[in-house]
Amino acid sequence: MITSEEIKRRLWDGANELRGSMDASRYKDYMLGLMFYKFLSDKTLEKYRSVDALGNITEDELVDEYINAKNEYGEELEKMIQSTLGYYVSPEYLYQMWLRDIKNGDFEVQKVIDSLNNFERTISNAGGGDFKGIFSSSTLDLTDTALGSNLNERSKNIQSLILLFADLNMVDLQKGDILGDAYEYLIGQFAMESGKKAGEFYTPHQVSEVMAQIVAKTQDITSIYDPTVGSGSLLLTVKKHLNLEDQRDLYYYGQEKNTATYNLTRMNLLLHGVRPEKMVIKNADTLGNDWPEDPKNPNEGVQFDAVVMNPPYSVKNWNKSGLKVSDPRFEIAGALPPDSKGDYAFLLHGLYHLGTNGTMAIVLPHGVLFRGSSEGEIRKKLIEKNQIDAIIGLPSSLFTNTGIPVVVIILKKNRNITDPILMIDASNNFIKVGKQNVLQEKDIAQIVDVYINKSEIKGFSHLAKREEILENEYNMNIPRYVESIETDIPHDVDAHLYGGIPRENIKDLKILNELVPNILKESIKEIRPGYIKLEKSIDEITKSIDNHHIIISMSSELKDKVKTYIDKHYDKLRNITGESVLKDLEEDMLSEVKAILNDYEYIDVYTAYQIIAEIWKNSLIRDIELIANEGFYNVGRQRQPNMVTKGSGKNKREEQDGWTASIIPNKLIADLLYSDQLKDLDSKSSKIQEIELEISELLEGAKIEDSIENESLADAIKRTKEDELGDSFDKKALKVELKVADKASKKYQLLKKVDTLLEHSALLSNEIKNNEKDLRDSVQNRIEELTDEEIDRLVYQKWFGQTDEKIVALIQASIKKELKILQELNDRYFDTLDGIDKEIGNLLLDFEALKNDLVVG
Amino acid sequence: MDQVNKLIPKRRFKEFQTSEAWEQREFGELADYKKGPFGSVLKKDIFVPKSDDVVKVYEQQNAIKKDSKLERYFITKEYAKKLNGFEVLPGEIIISCAGTIGEMYVLPSSAEIGIINQALMRVRVNERIVDKTLFKYLFSNMIDSFSRTHSNGSAIKNIPPFADLKPMKVRIPIIKEQHKIVVLLTNLDNLITLHQRKLDKIKSLKKSYLSEMFPAEGESVPKRRFTGFTEAWEQCKLLESVDNIIDFRGRTPKKLGMDWSETGYLALSALNVKNGFIDAEVDAHYGDQKLYDVWMSGNELHQGQVLFTTEAPMGNVAQVPDNKGYILSQRTIAFEVKKDLITENYLAVVLGSPKSFSALTALSSGGTAKGVSQKSLSGFYISVPRELKEQDEIAKLFMSLDNLITLHQRKLEKLQNLKKAYLNEMFV
């Protein structure tokens, strides 16, 4: 059983290796196209298997049967397959036939070309429209010299590409969306590799998540539209957040201008299990011609429950077809977006197709919030009609190929006229990964929570009323509405002049005041009205807080709660089956941790959320996929060859190096079940270190001239390039020296000592090497013999080993934050101007005296 | 003996004037030196997490940052016992010896006992012969001169090997004279630290006045006011308190068909206008008389006029320093105030306050490179006391604080140079 992570890695590594110098954006068409053809071939074969009720025969046999059947029944057979799938692949054009040719050494590129061309003819007229032109030679030209300068080279490259998918059963992989995920992943990876093209940017997954969660969580969706659909990832992200029933009933609409991308969109949706009859994807210019038109009401657009889009940013000369304000899409705005910036044209197009109760989410550059002239007019109209629901400012550098910060705008048509606009400033919520800024799971969760609860959080969100917006003359720039939190506590004149910490500042230490008011009270003393000084050091205060019964009981209470929570979910996770909806398990777990932490006003809920989200990301997603398929204890005892890449260049190859357990890390098995052996290894290696220490002391001693070590050992030490004494002994020279030295001499003793030490150390290293190998083997053999009880213990340790401690530590973390502020205040006001002056005065007097005491000789 | 007689420093304490000449010693006699163990002895896999049963490993950073509290690695007490040759105690000196070499730090009495790592050298000074503080000066002089003679242009990367270091010659006076020298040097060091602290304090004090001398959000009067003034303050639009904004947006010599000159009238671009002063060092351009006349005629800047940078960087405020004449260049604007409403000195102070800066930031556009347009300035309010006299008083206070800061800066530099002079004259 291969997991999606492994497929992703394998395909992407393969792609990189095969791609050579070819541009990523071109190569992806070949790679993804052939992958899709494999899918179609596998589907056809599976269909045939069930039609002829062939049961469990091998793929090879199945192909033979299919060839025979075709000979026997001819077109009848294919028609039958076509009637259910909407297409078929004739036996002679199967992907599997290419593989046979490669094996027999009579592969021809022409045959692949013929197969792809023939596919067009096998599409049924009814409902098969989604497959039309999907392998057209304009995007999948196998004679292109970019694939190799001559036919021979091209043939070789295409063969390796075909072999890359050879053993992947696409039909199996499609279950559980592994195939779709892998495909999507490749599209994303390729997008990152490609340079930017005319303002088109692949929507980073985290941005899609924000949009999809908002759209999916606020209403029922039966139809969704992306007017600039790209690879379709926004549509699919929304799908992912719907329940299975809604997923099945959803209608997908999308339009894409770029033909190659348009082909990808269709393949991507089909691979994700979207039924052909549920999707309508069109290859055309969204702005040029309005689409889709309502068949019942000509000249009126179809309206959708959800519109999502990431259009190209600030497109110049977008209005090539000379649209007028009278275009029904722009009517609401009463103005045409400027020729130099197409942003609002896209927004208005999407809005036009939004149903009365629907939700639209669009990504655009910040400029749309404050630019003037006609864009200002449009903004004013939208605000007057009150169709802007929320504006979410995101951090810069989220996209791989542009650094510009973007905003997500949420639009709705059914808002009450008095509903304020929610402004969210999430521009500071991210972590840096290399040059890139990345929204973490907790950042996404916080944005979505604030959106759903319409909550106002200082420095993060604000509900802007109509009057405020008018006051700002319809300028929607986020900083005008969401005040950034002052991080610097204002300085206080009296405190600087006369010392002491302003009591006001102490009052602002909310957590300390509410949790441990007594400790705080005992630690400060008023020195004059409104000013206090610290009576205890911060270290002392920290200690008394840590030992305070409230903190201790709070910690243990929280620990219990977290433990119950984990145990409950651990049990669920162990017992999942193929029927469980993994997505729901994750969501339950995440929302429950929030609920637990919500009782603790002073703990950052979202940090705890992130802890759980990361367990999912790092282990659970992969592990429970395996558990669902094969059962907990079976997977626990499973092991597979540990493949390592050896050599480089032409000699690069994969070789097996032992075994690894499927879900339990080998190291964990060693740590928990072989601790004695590990301890023994430890003590041996520390013995080696002792020896090395002794040797290094002898070496150092030998570097001091005239020392006895120097006289005795110098000739047995390796020399550096500058012919100075180096940092190690020369074993050969040592033996020679030993032979000639007088056995009674001090020199002999020292040489002998070095010799013994070196020997002992070599012996130990050898032992360690053997022990380590034994341990490795024991662990690898143990995997298959683990008891149920051991598996329970190990997996629990792997997933939730430190989770309770990490969450409980958040209590300390929030207290520490305030103690740090207290420390800063104390440092800031510790000196007074007068105090410093007095000290300077004294010092100057001393200096005066000293100075006069000096004479120039 | 003649030679020896010359070996006394230029400046010496009176009581030692007749004492003997400074005695020649070798560094090997002054102290015991020990370099950290080989890297293999303190490898990553030996380190353990911090707990009560561990010993700290001192690193380069402790010496360079002069901070004994920095900590990253620990070893078990058991293992530390085996490494006791490399133990370092409070009061002993650690010296960085690889990369950034020669950084010295005396571990304070509060420091933990620890083990030095490969990149450190531990020095146990023989305090019967040499004062510890004096040793630091001597050692660092030695390293300086060693690097001067041994480097080929670039700084040396390793502390001299013991074989070279220990025989190195050094002259020292008798211990009593050493102590006296150390008293003076320590006194100067303390004076420098204190003046640094005082400078910081005055800067903080200015910040505190800036926060207290203007009305807080929602208040009509400030927390702190000069006596005799009671009237409420006003929030007025900046644009309503000025007659005119001089803004030559986009004007360049090229567009006027001319060019910059080597000398002449200094052009004030946003790069030259710092907070509170004009900096003629960065990217300065000058215009000749002709350029100046064409550019500035009718808009000549006068002393005290308020300058403001609109972007890159946004929000710097300074006043025109004199009446020599300046060219108003890229991204800098100047205000012509309504004299009956606001004084120039006050405008400069209020524009430069943190409150104004955050208001301007909110009004500005752009992500990282913020900028304000004249249009967005129209939504910008400033707090103004009605009486011009009160404005003057406030402006005077901040000017005096600024002057104090400059003076203390100068005094600090003076003290640092004075110490250098003493070091030069009081050693052999």
pLDDT digits (tens, 9 = 90+) for B34-47: 988 877 778 787 88
Place of tokens 């803004």: B247
Please report which confidence band the pLDDT of residue B20 belongs to, taking 50, 70 and 90 as the band edges.
confident
Residue B217 to residue B231: CA distance in whole angstroms: 18
A60: Cβ contacts below 8 Å, ≥ 6 apart: none
User: What percentage of chain B reaches a pLDDT higher than 90?
Assistant: 58
Q: Are A268 and A181 in contact (CB under 8 A)?
A: no
- Which ranges constitute the DSSP H helices of A529-576? 538-546, 549-574
Q: Are B25 and B170 in contact (CB under 8 A)?
A: yes
Chain A residues in contact with B194 by the CB 8 A cut-off are 836, 839-840, 843
**Residue B112 three-state SS:** coil
A655: Cβ contacts below 8 Å, ≥ 6 apart: A643, A644, A646
B5–chain A Cβ distance below 8 A for any pair: no
Give per-residue burial for B399-418: e unless 16+ CB within 10 Å, then b. Answer: eebbebbeebeebbeebeee
Chain A residues in contact with B211 by the CB 8 A cut-off are 490-492
Q: Which residues pair with B125 in a beta bridge?
A: B31
Q: What's at A299, amino acid-wise?
A: N
**Closest residue of chain B to A829, computed from CA coordinates:** B201
Q: Are A619 and A803 in contact (CB under 8 A)?
A: no
User: What is the phi/psi pair of residue A156, to 5°?
Assistant: -65, -45
ipTM of the complex: 0.73
Residue from the list B183, B209, B375 with its beta carbon closest to the beta carbon of A493: B209
Q: Of A369, A469, A476, A491, which to mutate for an interface test with B (greatest number of B Cβ within 10 Å)?
A: A491
Joined together, the tokens standing for residue A130 give 């989604």
Cα maximum dimension of chain B: 84
Give per-residue burial for A746-782: e unless 16+ CB within 10 Å, then b. Answer: ebbebbeebbebbeebeeeeeebeeeeeebeeebbeb
Residue from the list A404, A696, A846 with its beta carbon closest to the beta carbon of B37: A696
B184–chain A Cβ distance below 8 A for any pair: yes
Chain B residues in contact with A370 by the CB 8 A cut-off are 365
User: What is the phi/psi pair of residue B168, to 5°?
Assistant: -60, 140
Residue from the list B35, B40, B205 with its beta carbon closest to the beta carbon of A692: B40
**Closest residue of chain B to A498, computed from CA coordinates:** B205
Which pLDDT value is given to residue A551? 93
Q: A836, B365: Cβ pair inside 8 Å?
A: no
Which pLDDT value is given to residue A823? 94
- The residue length of chain B stands at 428
Q: B365, A477: Cβ pair inside 8 Å?
A: yes
A175: Cβ contacts below 8 Å, ≥ 6 apart: none
Residue from the list B17, B82, B191 with its beta carbon closest to the beta carbon of A857: B17
Which pLDDT value is given to residue A176? 65
Averaged pLDDT score across all residues of chain B: 89
Joined together, the tokens standing for residue A642 give 């540990």
Which pLDDT value is given to residue B151? 63
Q: Which residues pair with B116 in a beta bridge?
A: B58
Which of B39, B41, B74 lies closest to B58 in space, CA to CA? B74
Q: A693, B161: Cβ pair inside 8 Å?
A: no
- Which ranges constitute the DSSP H helices of A295-433? 328-331, 343-352, 373-384
Residue from the list B12, B210, B361 with its beta carbon closest to the beta carbon of A479: B361
Which of A350, A198, A149, A186 lies closest to A271 in space, CA to CA? A186
Chain B residues in contact with A484 by the CB 8 A cut-off are 358, 361-362
**Residue A206 three-state SS:** helix
User: What is the phi/psi pair of residue A375, to 5°?
Assistant: -65, -35
Q: B198, A480: Cβ pair inside 8 Å?
A: no
Q: A857, B212: Cβ pair inside 8 Å?
A: no
Residue from the list A366, A370, A857 with its beta carbon closest to the beta carbon of B8: A857
Which pLDDT value is given to residue B153? 57
Which of A466, A456, A478 lies closest to A391 in space, CA to CA? A478
B212–chain A Cβ distance below 8 A for any pair: yes
Q: Are B23 and B79 in contact (CB under 8 A)?
A: no
B174–chain A Cβ distance below 8 A for any pair: no
Joined together, the tokens standing for residue A395 give 């951090």
Chain B residues in contact with A840 by the CB 8 A cut-off are 191, 194-195, 198
First and final CA of chain A: distance in angstroms? 91
Residue B239 to residue B242: CA distance in whole angstroms: 5
**Count of A-B CB contacts under 8 Å:** 129
Chain A residues in contact with B208 by the CB 8 A cut-off are 490-493, 495-496
Which pLDDT value is given to residue A527? 94
- The whole-number average pLDDT for the span B203-219 is 89
Chain B residues in contact with A853 by the CB 8 A cut-off are 13-15
Joined together, the tokens standing for residue A205 give 């997954």
Q: B11, A689: Cβ pair inside 8 Å?
A: no
Which pLDDT value is given to residue A196? 52
User: What is the phi/psi pair of residue A358, to 5°?
Assistant: -90, 175
**Closest residue of chain A to B80, computed from CA coordinates:** A690
Q: Distance between alpha carbon A135 and the CA centroid of its chain, in Å?
A: 32
Ranges in chain A, pLDDT < 50: 198
Residue from the list B184, B365, B367 with its beta carbon closest to the beta carbon of A370: B365
Which pLDDT value is given to residue B368? 59
Q: B212, A492: Cβ pair inside 8 Å?
A: yes
Q: B9, A495: Cβ pair inside 8 Å?
A: no
Residue from the list B37, B46, B208 with its beta carbon closest to the beta carbon of A496: B208
Joined together, the tokens standing for residue A545 give 């807080």
